[in-house]
């Protein structure tokens, strides 16, 4: 059985206290905590077979290479990729998207071509395309956000048209929590011959993912949001598209032969992983995938729906609460963004922190969407496999305490 109270025992950090209070960690959309099994995979690499990969013939290098490539296969299996070669290790989602921008977009887009995004994109899936548009003359077009944080796809056939060359959308919003209609948007992209990219940073760690069923050309996600270390990310590229890409970075390891005036490229995916890769963290990502596979991604998703539903129920008890995004748990990922009356989100976060409760406060790298909602900032609580109802109860109690504190301060003029 999926029991978050048992799962918590695998996460050493959840035993610590903050300001003398038990840690309640609700900032998982920013980064997840790491289980003992992942931490041990890291230390095992450095203690037993630390070596560079793909280059040495000695035992440590061979073992490191085997483990590194095993991790690639684990990731491929996790998202049902047709081949391990379609998995490129990057630093994070941001770098994965930039790889597509530099390796494909800058070389294939021209003036009057169009790139379609949504208004709710994380800066990682917006700023690179702004650069591409500036350098190629292509235009950015946006699918608008309508009521309750859902995309308004009523004009989809107009927004995605014969000028559209790329559609790149977030599958689950890191701010509103909205689960977007990926298949509907993909189908329209296919009708006009556009490539289709998915930012899976908030979906791959939380729900089953099948890139063949999704039929995306690119899928980007980060390891640190799915129990793995920071500094390791993934770009999946459909094999037929991958063959057409030029290398993003150039130098060691990505080459086949080098002369003084030119070079030829290594096989895929090595040609996209220049220099010494993040070996230890890739191997630890493989351990994180093993952990999630053991839990079962269907169970992970079910737990997050239940956690989110309970959070919506408890937070709606607070009259001053304004919950942003979809109104039901099944239409959103495992997070809830909100404003609390006239209390600034940074003050909310600071007061909760004094009780050991970690949430996010700010614009969450989604400034355009905050402007659309006329918000300077918001607060966000996000859930993962180790969060319990008691964590959500602590959040609700902490928010009520924060309201009482500021009400007293206003009355006394402090």
Q: Which residues form the catalytic set?
A: 365
Tokens of 299: 């169970």
In order of 26, 120, 215, 218, 236, the CA distances from 240 in angstroms are 40, 29, 12, 11, 12
Contact assessment for residue 363 and residue 349, using Cβ atoms and an 8 Å cutoff? no
Q: Where are the alpha helices (DSSP H) in 49-178?
A: 59-78, 93-100, 106-108, 127-136, 156-159
Tell which residue, 252, 383, 253, 277, has the closest CA to residue 45: 277
Q: How far apart are CA 405 and CA 333, in angstroms?
A: 31
Strand partners, 360: 380
Long-range contacts of 188-193 (CB under 8 A, 24+ apart): 188/156, 188/157, 188/160, 189/116, 189/160, 189/164, 190/215, 191/160, 192/160, 192/161, 192/162, 192/164
CA angle 224, 227, 231 (to 5 degrees): 25
């Amino acid at each position: 059985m999926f029991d978050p109270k048992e799962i918590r025992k695998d996460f050493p950090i959840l035993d610590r206290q903050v300001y003398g209070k038990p840690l309640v960690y609700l900032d998982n959309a920013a980064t997840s905590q790491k289980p003992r099994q992942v931490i041990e995979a890291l230390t095992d690499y450095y203690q037993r077979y630390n070596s560079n990969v793909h280059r040495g013939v000695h035992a440590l290098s061979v073992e490191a290479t085997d483990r590194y490539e095993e991790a690639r296969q684990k990731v491929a299996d996790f998202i049902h990729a047709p081949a391990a070669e379609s998995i490129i290790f990057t630093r994070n989602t941001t770098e994965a998207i930039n790889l597509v921008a530099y390796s494909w977009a800058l070389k294939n887009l021209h003036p009057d071509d169009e790139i379609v995004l949504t208004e709710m994109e994380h800066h990682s899936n917006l700023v690179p395309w702004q650069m591409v548009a500036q350098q190629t003359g292509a235009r950015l077009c946006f699918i608008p956000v309508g009521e309750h944080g859902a995309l308004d796809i009523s004009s989809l056939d107009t927004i995605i048209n014969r000028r559209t060359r790329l559609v790149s959308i977030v599958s689950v919003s890191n701010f509103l929590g909205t689960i977007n209609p990926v298949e509907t948007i993909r189908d329209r992209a296919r009708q006009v011959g556009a490539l289709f990219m998915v930012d899976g940073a908030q979906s791959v760690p939380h729900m089953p993912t099948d890139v063949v069923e999704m039929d995306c050309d690119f899928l980007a996600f980060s390891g640190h949001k799915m129990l793995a270390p920071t500094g390791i990310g993934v770009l999946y590229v459909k094999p037929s598209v991958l063959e057409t890409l030029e290398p993003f970075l150039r130098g060691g390891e990505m080459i086949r032969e080098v002369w003084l005036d030119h070079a030829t490229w290594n096989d895929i995916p090595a040609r996209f992983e220049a220099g010494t890769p993040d070996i230890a963290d890739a191997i630890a990502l493989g351990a994180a995938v093993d952990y999630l596979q053991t839990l079962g991604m269907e169970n992970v998703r079910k737990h997050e729906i239940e956690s989110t539903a309970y959070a919506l129920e408890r937070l709606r008890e607070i009259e001053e609460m304004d919950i942003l995004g979809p109104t039901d748990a099944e239409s959103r990922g495992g997070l809830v963004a909100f404003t609390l009356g006239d209390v600034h989100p940074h003050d909310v976060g600071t007061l909760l922190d004094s009780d050991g409760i970690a949430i996010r406060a700010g614009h969450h790298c989604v400034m355009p969407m905050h402007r659309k909602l006329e918000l300077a900032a918001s607060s966000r609580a996000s859930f993962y496999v180790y969060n319990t109802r008691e964590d959500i109860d602590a959040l609700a109690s902490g928010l009520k305490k924060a309201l009482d504190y500021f009400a007293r301060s206003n009355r006394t003029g402090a």
